[in-house]
Amino acid sequence: MHDLYRRYGKGLTYTFIGLTFFWLIVLVVLPDFKLLEASFRPYLPVADIGGPKDVYSLGNYAQIFGNEVPFSIFGIEVMIAARIKVFILTIFYSGVVTLITFLLAYPLSFYLAKVASGKTLPTLFLLLFVPLWVSEVLRSFAWYIILTLKGPLNALLMTLGLISKEIRWIDGYSPVVITLVYAYVLFMLFPLYNAMQSLDSNQIEAAEDLGSPWWRTHLRVILPHAKPGIASGAVMVFMLSAGSLLVPAIINSTTGNWFTQTIQGIMLEGQDWNAGAAFAFMLLLFCTLAVSVAMRVFRVKLSDIAK
Amino acid sequence: MSAGIELDNVCCDFGSFRAVDHVNVNIQPGEFFSFLGPSGCGKTTILRMISGFTDPTEGVIRIGGTDVRGQRPNQRPTALIFQNLALFPLMPIWENIAFGLEVRGVDKAKRRKRAEELLALVDLHDSADKMVSQLSGGQKQRVAIARALAVEPAVMLLDEPLSALDLKLRQHMRAELRAIQKRTGVTFIYITHDQGEALAMSDRVGVMSQGRLQQVANPRDIYNNPVNGFVASFVGENNILKGNVQAAADGMAGFETAIGTFKARLPETSAGKAVKLYVRPEHVALTNAAGAENSVPVTLTEVAFEGNFITVHAVTENGTDMIAELRNDGAGSVPASGSKMHMTFDARNASLLPDSTTTGA
Amino acid sequence: MQNSRKLIGHLYMAIFLIYLLVPLAVMSGAAFNASKLPTIIPWKGLTDQWFIALYNDNRIWGALANTLFVALAVVIIAVPVGAAGAILVNSISGRIRAVLYGMMVAPILVPGVVIGISTLLFWNQFSVPSGLHLSVLGQVSYIASFVMLLVLARLQSFDQGLEEAALDLGASHAQVMRRILLPHLYPALGAGAAISFFQSIENFNVTLFTRGGADTLTVYVFSKVRSGITPTINALAFLMIMVTIVFAIIYETRRRRNAAIEASREAEARRAEES
């Protein structure tokens, strides 16, 4: 701080502090506090707000229970609240998306970091970036077109003789997973690439020179080095997937609801903002928890994730 | 135009670490003064205090007789040449040089003209519109000097500006810097850990160690009459013998060691202190027979023929390592490793010095 | 062995690019199909009717104007705010730095739904009605994080000695800022502005909850996809992809030119070194 003052003088230093304060306090911290506060308030007609009925309670949070539906885990059928089921499935399938993006991106990032020639690299990256600049809503729409019953995917598979009857792709969670993977695979690719690129190629050659088979080189040399990148990519993809509203809203089937859609329903259709706040807060809490766990498991810092 | 600088009991602490410890020195206007010392000795901190980037914890700094405490860097009549030069990479050369004028509101045509004059002064014609990345190391050096001169400073502060250059260019730039200093008459304060640089360029040298100024003198006296063991060893090499002073008279003394008694000079500053005997390798001769005085029998362990001189490593009977540096006169034979000979030196070339002196305090 | 592995690499890269680009091609193709449903099969003949329909859709142009307005506002706020945050966090150290940095990065990871709802509720208590102005504030809260990260990375390659040199030559603080620091940061600020702009255009979650009744392009396209789908959206998508490609080509040419200039300068410095 003293250093800042010496370099930029009083006026600029206060400007920097003021702008940062506006951002972090007014735009981030205070709204989150308000979210927490509102989540304990009941849904009342305008006339009753501030009146005797306007007292704090856990009522909004209790709304996640109720309306029990069957839910099978490993073949065992249990009864569970519909919203809890959606919450659990959202997290589960976000995990599935994360895993698939990792499996897709790992070989590619290795290729980009260690195999592709330096000359073609900028061009390859440019090509990879093109879909990223195209709006997410349009990318989801593209998959909607591809996956429809009479769409090009089924037509292609039929022509190739791989299937004899059209597959109903838009059913359950698979269309959401397919589209989320497509939408977020690059968020796994770039951090992985960054991590692998910083690995000295000599280490790989040394391992191979010492007689290590390729899979062991990956397991013992490359994967450990890429760990911060994996953590970063995994956290990004998981958060984006769990928090995505656009993709499931466009391409979901009635049997594949996402938790963000539940929140949207309460907020915009039910117009119960306080209950919406409670559900949003639950999502925020869970996300914070998930990031902390990921940081603990991968033993990385937030600054590693944010690369 | 040029100004003198006084450091009056200056100290600087970083937390509990005392980087500069009671430094007193009076630098004359127009002088080329070097602070010489190993890294971490506090010399860079002194430079930063003079330029205003660091404040002294104690003591007073005067530039041209004015106490400059509280003045910011942009208010002081000093110009600093940074170790990495700190040229602005996004400006062409002439804008770099004229930057100090630009911030003083000088109009563009005048700035351009002055920049070209300065480029001529440092022998860099036709480079005004180039970018920094187009220049060689030596050319960047000159641009940095021109940029500092443009603001017509009373004092130039140079923080090891030659350290990034290769040996040949470094030697060339020494002469160049000295010439520019003479031409402009500006006071130069030069920081270096390279004794050759300091001795070759300076009017006076201040040798520093652990935040303290050990000795301030002209280059000849620094080399020939060091006041303590640190100065003697940091500037040039030495053979060092441990022992005790026996009898002293007329600035000379007998010195008793485990391998015999030697005669050597005893400077006044060493009187009454625990001392060791220092004698430089080039003042040591090798003879086949023992000399009359100051003679040590040795076994040669390594003889390195280096062209203009021959370095001989040897070991005494009690295991003390000795070095002699013999001029190659072309006629004499090169002694063989393993042979037993005698090392002798003149008593006037040997000094009895304490490890360090506590100046100031 | 080495070569076959390389071949697999090239092949995989090619398949991956096809995987990324084919959906865009399918979508663009549907824009030219005379079929009433957005699809490429069956192909019912080439048509430009969807582009004409797009041109005549007034709501979409309104939504586009709104989107650009919001994106511009987000750039204007997020770039200085993010840059100030980066400079601040770069100048301090220790625990406060870690906390401040964490607070600045966290908004990226917060779900947009949460940001949208909290922004709506927070301003609503001061009787600020919902609308695009709230969308701007909500978007800035996390988009500034991207700017912060870009500027911080750029600051790490900044030699602070340059600022000291400028101060030493007599520059004022404002001059140091304008002539030394800002020119160094321009690439990061430019990239930050571009990312802010595109992130804002892309944004759906925050906007959906804060927009009030106003449409942005993403929200409008979303509602079109949800309700009656016509290939008008495909026509829009095709145009957007074309714009993206044009920008990509411009970017690539500029990059190559700058690389060439840089290389020639380095060669000259090497020559100067040798002479």
pLDDT tens digits, residue range C128-151? 998 999 999 999 999 999 999 999
Would B358 be classed as within a structural domain?
no
> What is residue B352's three-state secondary structure?
strand
* End-to-end Cα, chain B, rounded Å: 33
Which of the four pLDDT bands, split at 50, 70 and 90, describes residue B83?
confident
Same domain, B306 and B210: no
One-letter amino acid of B49: M
CA gap B68, A220 in Å, rounded: 60
Confidence at residue A17, expressed as pLDDT on a 0 to 100 scale = 94
Three-point CA angle B186, B192, B196, nearest 5°: 95
Confidence at residue C54, expressed as pLDDT on a 0 to 100 scale = 85
pLDDT of C257 strictly over 60: yes
**CA of B110 to nearest chain C CA: how many angstroms apart?**
17
Would B139 be classed as within a structural domain?
yes
Which of the four pLDDT bands, split at 50, 70 and 90, describes residue B113?
very high
**CA of C110 to nearest chain A CA: how many angstroms apart?**
7
Q: Which residues of C touch B82 (CB under 8 A)?
A: 161, 164-165
Taking alpha carbons only, the member of C141, C142, C136 closest to residue C211 is: C136
Other beta carbons less than 10 A from residue A174's beta carbon: 18
What domains does chain A contain, in order, with CATH numbers? 78-305 (1.10.3720.10)
Which of the four pLDDT bands, split at 50, 70 and 90, describes residue C34?
confident
Residue, of C203 and A155, whose pLDDT is higher: C203
Residue, of B322 and A153, whose pLDDT is higher: B322
Burial (CB count <10 Å: 0-12, 13-18, 19+), residue C211? buried
Q: What is the mean pLDDT of chain A?
A: 85
Other beta carbons less than 10 A from residue B167's beta carbon: 8
Q: Are C67 and C135 in contact (CB under 8 A)?
A: no
Burial (CB count <10 Å: 0-12, 13-18, 19+), residue B34? buried
The domain spanning residue B111 has which CATH number? 3.40.50.300
pLDDT in tens, A20-69: 999 999 999 999 999 999 888 888 777 777 777 778 888 888 888 877 77
pLDDT of B161 strictly over 90: no
Which of the four pLDDT bands, split at 50, 70 and 90, describes residue A297?
confident
Same domain, B273 and B203: no
Would B360 be classed as within a structural domain?
no
Confidence at residue A304, expressed as pLDDT on a 0 to 100 scale = 67
Same domain, B218 and B255: no
- Tell me whether B305 touches chain C (CB under 8 Å): no
Confidence at residue B358, expressed as pLDDT on a 0 to 100 scale = 53
CA gap A237, A183 in Å, rounded: 9
Same domain, B78 and B177: yes
- Tell me whether B251 touches chain C (CB under 8 Å): no
What domains does chain C contain, in order, with CATH numbers? 31-274 (1.10.3720.10)
Confidence at residue A306, expressed as pLDDT on a 0 to 100 scale = 61
Taking alpha carbons only, the member of B287, B350, B343 closest to residue B315 is: B343
3-state DSSP percent of chain A in helix, strand and coil, to 5: 70, 5, 25
Same domain, B189 and B171: yes
With tokens 């750029």, the residue in question is C154
Contact C167 B73 (CB under 8 A): yes
| Range scoring the smallest mean pLDDT among B221-230, C1-10, C248-257 | C1-10
Q: Which DSSP string corresponds to A41-91?
A: S----GGGTTSTT----SHHHHTTS-SEEEEEETTEEEEEEHHHHHHHHHH
**Crossing angle, helix A223-243 and helix C95-109, to 10 degrees?**
50
Would B17 be classed as within a structural domain?
yes
Same domain, B156 and B269: no
The domain spanning residue B309 has which CATH number? 2.40.50.140
Same domain, B32 and B156: yes
**Exposure pattern of C86-121 as b/e (b: 16+ CB <10 Å)?**
bbbbbbbeeeeeeebbebbbbbbbbbbbbbbbbbbb
pLDDT of B135 strictly over 70: yes
Provide φ and ψ at B172, rounded to 5°.
-65, -45
Number of domains chain B is built from: 2
**Crossing angle, helix B93-102 and helix B137-150, to 10 degrees?**
20
Residue, of A61 and C230, whose pLDDT is higher: A61
**Crossing angle, helix C182-202 and helix C132-156, to 10 degrees?**
140
**Domain end (from B201, B228, B255):** B228
pLDDT in tens, C212-225: 888 898 888 888 88
C37 CB-near residues (< 8 Å, 6+ apart): C229, C231
Point out the residue among C170, C179, C273 whose CB comes nearest to the CB of B74: C170
Q: Which residues of B touch C179 (CB under 8 A)?
A: 88, 91, 99, 102-103
Same domain, B220 and B244: no
Q: What is the dihedral of CA C191, C196, C202, C208, to 10 degrees?
A: 170
Confidence at residue C1, expressed as pLDDT on a 0 to 100 scale = 47
Contact C198 A38 (CB under 8 A): no
Contact A264 C208 (CB under 8 A): yes
Would B361 be classed as within a structural domain?
no
Q: Are B350 and B275 in contact (CB under 8 A)?
A: no
Point out the residue among A9, A124, A138 whose CB comes nearest to the CB of C27: A138
With tokens 């500092």, the residue in question is B148
Same domain, B345 and B266: yes
CA gap B100, B152 in Å, rounded: 9
Other beta carbons less than 10 A from residue A205's beta carbon: 11
pLDDT in tens, C104-129: 999 988 999 999 999 999 999 898 99
Helices (H), chain B: 43-51, 93-102, 108-121, 137-150, 167-184, 195-201, 219-224, 229-234
**Domain end (from B207, B228, B249):** B228
Contact C167 B72 (CB under 8 A): yes
- Count B/C contacts: CB-CB distance under 8 Å: 79
Q: Are B182 and B34 in contact (CB under 8 A)?
A: no
DSSP letter at B123 equals T
Nearest CA in chain C to B127: C272
Same domain, B215 and B263: no
Q: Which residues of C touch B73 (CB under 8 A)?
A: 164, 167-168
Q: Mean pLDDT over residues C53-74, rounded?
A: 91
pLDDT of C2 strictly over 70: no
Would B309 be classed as within a structural domain?
yes
Single pTM value for the model = 0.81
With tokens 């989107």, the residue in question is C67
Helices (H), B189-298: 195-201, 219-224, 229-234
A103 CB-near residues (< 8 Å, 6+ apart): none
Q: Which domain holds residue B318?
A: 237-353
**Cβ contacts of C8-17, under 8 Å, gap ≥ 24:** C9/A107, C9/A110, C9/A111, C9/A115, C9/A116, C12/A107, C12/A108, C12/A111, C13/A108, C13/A111, C13/A112, C13/A116, C13/A124, C16/A104, C16/A108, C17/A124, C17/A127, C17/A128
Q: Which residues of C touch A137 (CB under 8 A)?
A: 204, 218, 221-222, 225
pLDDT of B330 strictly over 80: no
Same domain, B67 and B161: yes
CA gap A16, A33 in Å, rounded: 24
Which of the four pLDDT bands, split at 50, 70 and 90, describes residue A299?
confident
Which of the four pLDDT bands, split at 50, 70 and 90, describes residue A1?
low
| Range scoring the smallest mean pLDDT among A7-16, A256-265, C225-234 | C225-234
Q: Which residues of B touch C159 (CB under 8 A)?
A: 84, 86
Q: Are C237 and C27 in contact (CB under 8 A)?
A: yes
Contact C269 B82 (CB under 8 A): no
Neighbours of chain B (3+ CB pairs under 8 A): C
Q: Mean pLDDT over residues B277-300, rounded?
A: 89
**Domain end (from B189, B206, B228):** B228
**CA of C201 to nearest chain A CA: how many angstroms apart?**
8
Q: Are C179 and C163 in contact (CB under 8 A)?
A: no
Alpha-carbon dihedral sign for residues B165, B171, B176, B178? positive
Q: What is the mean pLDDT of chain C?
A: 89
CA gap C110, B156 in Å, rounded: 54
Nearest CA in chain B to C178: B103
